[in-house]
């Protein structure tokens, strides 16, 4: 999904407040985080002792030691510092890893939990590749923030504060140069950070676009090859990569300019400090050890300033990613999904009524799809929906499944508004066998048991037999454990349909929806599938969407749709006998030359 171009933004209080909400995923591990911060402070403080010890060694070598230290005592102090520093650093990394790994695992689970509960129209407005990019690369950025970036950012601030305090205390006149250059560096960091944040967000969006191209072309690889469009897809991917490279190079340019700015200011300041410091040593107002310690602290401060700029831009970039994550987390879902929820099964008979139903898709609210639909299905009846593409057949069953909300009107199940049922419980009494069956990349057993996740092997076998699927399954060397490949690529169309029917049989629904389930099959497969469907429909309220009228001659009622209206209804024979009727015209075209 392309977003509108945004003007460069500052890091505002509102954005920080919004980003603060993401910390809820860290709160369960806050003691690890606090412990990591304490260890980080200790580690940074120990590091700041080394420049002072360096200066002391220089004074010992020149005979100007003020504290009675010698090289042996310095060596002992260094050894203790190194051991303590090593232990502190080890546990600091472990503590922050606990926060980042566990916290980001919670983020991913919450994102996925939200995604699978979002309404269908959300996925119509957002491409899957973009959503995958958010749950992978954007979360990776956030994980990097908590595991490395934030800790290092705080470390550099600590070093900066301690270093400045020392140089002001030890050499007030020399510290003036540093304090004069500091505001320029801060202003520069803010200035460049604005551009870096905007380009970082654009880079994430373009990266998502490249992933979308790869996903779509690989998912539709048969179509790509059928039309010999390998070159077209390669060129399309290359164009996206070129855009990504251009934005990445622009991003690198601003980072490079910022680095250049830092280097020029720092090196200029350091050169002047060296010149002025050696003059102070020459006139006896400073020892050589104090100058060395001062210069070393200045190097630490300079390194901290340069790192702060880098870490600051990384934090800004991550905040851009959290905006994309919050868009998902703050979108209203269809239900509140919890692992311990107790869904009470509903006992329904299967009587359905549509009363004056009007509907337009959210993405096309100005284009009415259904215009006052009235139909009824008694318990155990079979009805068929017939009409040209776009007449509203599939929309009717989508509304019945509560994939969308009505604009007006009401749909009832056993006389009760379907909106009053718990959504999970309501959908559990409905099964659908679609024209294009989506199978998962596991085994045949896993795909059948998707209709009833905890079904026994015997139940799965019986469902396969009733779906006319057991025969071809038993011919595979691994039987029900046969892996079917991504999206069921190793199975034929008829085999996939029978797997889908077995899945529906296992679910044992009260209401069955058949969405052109045999329209794309050859004659032999169609007969096997139709026999399985007849078994499945026995005793169930069934709604059939059909193009092949031969499959619906025995249904109880046929509804003919045109432009969102029901223009005819009746049995096959009644409708076929109507001269110049919409159904009669379709029947004549399909049954010409046949006695039906």
| Res. 8: pLDDT tops 60 | no
Most confident range (mean pLDDT) of 88-92, 140-144, 267-271, 589-593 is: 88-92
Q: What is the dihedral of CA 33, 37, 42, 43, to 10 degrees?
A: 90
pLDDT digits (tens, 9 = 90+) for 180-208: 666 666 566 667 666 777 777 788 888 88
Give me the percent of the chain exceeding a pLDDT of 70.
Answer: 85
Tell me whether residue 235 is in a domain. no
Supply φ then ψ for residue 543, to 5 degrees: -120, 120
Query: Among candidates 153, 141, 193, 118, which has minimal Cα distance to 324?
Result: 141
| Res. 594: pLDDT tops 60 | no
Tell me whether residue 179 is in a domain. yes
- Residue 187 sits in the same domain as residue 311: yes
pLDDT for res 248: 85
Supply φ then ψ for residue 46, to 5 degrees: -65, -40
pLDDT digits (tens, 9 = 90+) for 396-431: 999 998 888 899 999 999 889 999 888 888 888 888
Average pLDDT taken over every residue of the chain: 79
| Res. 539: pLDDT tops 90 | no
Q: What does the pLDDT average to over 255-280?
A: 72
- Residue 189 sits in the same domain as residue 277: yes
Residue 18: pLDDT band by 50, 70, 90 thresholds? low
Instruction: Specify the DSSP element, H or E, that contains 375.
Output: strand 370-377
Structure tokens at 381: 């009846």
- Residue 424 sits in the same domain as residue 315: no
Q: What does the pLDDT average to over 324-334?
A: 78
- Residue 262 sits in the same domain as residue 382: no
Domain ends where: 329, 355, 372?
329
pLDDT digits (tens, 9 = 90+) for 167-182: 788 777 777 766 666 6
Q: What is the CATH number of the domain that holds 401?
A: 3.40.50.300
DSSP class of residue 134 equals: I
Tell me whether residue 481 is in a domain. no
Find all residues with CB under 8 Å of 119, minimum gap 6, and list them.
Answer: 333, 334, 403, 404
pLDDT for res 412: 93
Structure tokens at 17: 């407040």
| Res. 15: pLDDT tops 70 | no
Residue keyed to tokens 């096997």: 528
Domain ends where: 329, 360, 384?
329
pLDDT for res 152: 81
Total count of domains within the chain:
2
Find all residues with CB under 8 Å of 5, minimum gap 6, and list them.
Answer: none
Q: What CA–CA distance (Å, rounded) separates 221 from 226?
A: 8
Q: What CA–CA distance (Å, rounded) separates 509 from 536?
A: 9
Most confident range (mean pLDDT) of 25-34, 478-487, 557-566 is: 557-566
Residue 4: pLDDT band by 50, 70, 90 thresholds? very low
Of residues 367 and 525, more confidence is placed in: 367
- Residue 289 sits in the same domain as residue 421: no
Q: What is the CATH number of the domain that holds 268?
A: 1.20.1560.10
- Residue 142 sits in the same domain as residue 87: yes
Instruction: Specify the DSSP element, H or E, that contains 61.
Output: helix 49-61
Of residues 526 and 367, more confidence is placed in: 367
Most confident range (mean pLDDT) of 107-111, 321-325, 410-414, 552-556 is: 410-414
- Residue 372 sits in the same domain as residue 411: yes
Contact call for residues 269 and 177 (beta carbons, < 8 A) = yes
Tell me whether residue 46 is in a domain. yes
- Residue 258 sits in the same domain as residue 114: yes
- Residue 290 sits in the same domain as residue 183: yes
| Res. 574: pLDDT tops 90 | no
| Res. 593: pLDDT tops 60 | no
Helices (H) and strands (E) in the chain, counts: 21, 10
Could you list the residue range(s) of the whole structural domain that residue 82 is in?
14-200+250-329
Give me the percent of the chain exceeding a pLDDT of 90.
Answer: 5
DSSP letters, 277-338, are HHHHHHTTSS-HHHHHHHHHHHHHHHHHHHHHHHHHHHHHHHHHHHHHHHHHHTSPPSS---
DSSP letters, 72-119, are HHHHHHHHHHHHHHHHHHHHHHHHHHHHHHHHHHHHHHHHHHHHHHS-
Residue keyed to tokens 């200029």: 268
Q: What CA–CA distance (Å, rounded) separates 405 from 362?
A: 9
Residue 497: pLDDT band by 50, 70, 90 thresholds? confident
pLDDT for res 374: 92
pLDDT for res 9: 45
| Res. 437: pLDDT tops 80 | no
Tell me whether residue 548 is in a domain. no
- Residue 39 sits in the same domain as residue 140: yes
Of residues 81 and 128, more confidence is placed in: 81
**CA 42 to mean position of chain CA atoms:** 38
Tell me whether residue 81 is in a domain. yes
Tell me whether residue 466 is in a domain. no
Tell me whether residue 595 is in a domain. yes
* Angle at the Cα of 412 from the Cα atoms of 411 and 418, rounded to 5 degrees: 85
- Residue 269 sits in the same domain as residue 371: no
| Res. 351: pLDDT tops 70 | yes
Sheet containing 511-515: order of strands: 430-433, 511-515, 541-545, 382-387, 557-562, 565-570
* Angle at the Cα of 126 from the Cα atoms of 123 and 132, rounded to 5 degrees: 95
- Residue 379 sits in the same domain as residue 424: yes
Residue 12: pLDDT band by 50, 70, 90 thresholds? low
pLDDT for res 190: 63
pLDDT digits (tens, 9 = 90+) for 73-115: 878 888 888 898 889 889 988 988 888 888 888 888 888 888 8
Q: What does the pLDDT average to over 214-235?
A: 82
Q: What CA–CA distance (Å, rounded) separates 495 from 520?
A: 12
């Amino acid at each position: 999904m392309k977003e509108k171009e945004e003007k460069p933004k500052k890091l505002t209080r509102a954005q920080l407040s919004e980003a603060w909400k993401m910390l809820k995923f860290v709160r369960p591990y806050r003691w690890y985080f606090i412990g990591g911060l304490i260890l980080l402070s200790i580690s940074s403080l120990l590091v700041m002792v080394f420049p002072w010890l360096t200066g002391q060694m220089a004074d010992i070598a020149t005979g100007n030691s003020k504290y009675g230290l010698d090289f042996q005592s310095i060596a002992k102090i260094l050894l203790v510092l190194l051991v303590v520093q090593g232990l502190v650093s080890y546990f600091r990394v472990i503590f922050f890893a606990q926060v980042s790994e566990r916290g980001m695992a919670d983020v991913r689970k919450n994102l996925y939990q939200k995604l699978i509960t979002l309404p269908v129209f959300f996925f119509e407005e957002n491409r899957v590749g973009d959503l995958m990019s958010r749950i992978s690369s954007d979360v990776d950025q956030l994980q990097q923030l908590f595991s490395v970036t934030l800790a290092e950012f705080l470390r550099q601030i600590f070093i900066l504060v301690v270093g400045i305090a020392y140089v002001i205390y030890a050499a007030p006149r020399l510290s003036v140069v540093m304090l004069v250059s500091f505001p320029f560096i801060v202003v520069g960091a803010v200035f460049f950070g604005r551009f870096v944040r905007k380009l970082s967000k654009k880079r994430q969006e373009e990266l998502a676009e490249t992933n979308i191209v790869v996903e779509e072309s690989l998912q539709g690889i048969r179509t790509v090859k059928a039309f010999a469009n390998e070159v077209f897809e390669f060129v399309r991917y290359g164009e996206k990569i070129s855009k990504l490279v251009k934005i990445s190079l622009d991003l690198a340019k601003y980072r490079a300019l910022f680095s250049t700015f830092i280097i020029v200011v720092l090196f200029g300041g350091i050169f002047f400090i060296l010149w002025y410091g050696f003059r102070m040593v020459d006139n006896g107002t400073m020892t050589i050890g104090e100058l060395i310690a001062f210069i070393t602290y200045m190097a630490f401060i300079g390194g901290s300033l340069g790192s702060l700029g880098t870490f600051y831009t990384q934090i800004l970039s991550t905040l851009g990613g959290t905006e994309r994550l919050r868009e998902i987390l703050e979108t209203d879902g269809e239900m509140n999904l919890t692992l311990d929820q107790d869904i009470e099964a509903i006992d329904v008979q299967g009587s359905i009524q549509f009363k004056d139903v009007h509907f337009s898709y959210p993405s096309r609210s100005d284009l009415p799809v259904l215009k006052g639909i009235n139909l009824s299905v008694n318990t155990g009846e079979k009805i068929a929906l017939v009409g040209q593409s776009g007449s509203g057949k599939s929309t009717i069953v989508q509304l019945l499944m509560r994939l969308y909300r009505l604009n007006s009107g009401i749909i009832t199940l056993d006389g009760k508004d379907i909106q009053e049922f718990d959504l999970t419980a309501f959908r559990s009494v409905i099964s659908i066998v679609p024209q294009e069956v989506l199978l998962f990349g596991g085994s045949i057993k896993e795909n059948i048991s998707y209709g009833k996740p905890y079904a026994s092997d015997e139940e799965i076998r019986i469902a396969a037999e009733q779906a006319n699927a057991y025969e071809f399954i038993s011919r595979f060397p691994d039987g029900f454990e046969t892996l079917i490949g991504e999206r069921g690529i190793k199975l034929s169309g008829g085999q996939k349909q029978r797997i889908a029917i077995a899945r529906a049989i296992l679910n044992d629904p009260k209401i069955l929806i058949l969405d052109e389930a045999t329209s794309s099959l050859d004659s032999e497969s169609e007969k096997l599938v139709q026999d399985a469907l007849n078994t499945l429909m026995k005793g169930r309220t069934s709604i059939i969407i059909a193009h092949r009228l031969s499959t619906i001659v025995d249904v109880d009622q046929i509804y003919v749709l045109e432009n969102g209206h029901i223009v005819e209804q009746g049995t096959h024979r009644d409708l076929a006998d109507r001269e110049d009727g919409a159904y009669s015209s379709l029947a004549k075209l399909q049954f010409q030359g046949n006695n039906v």
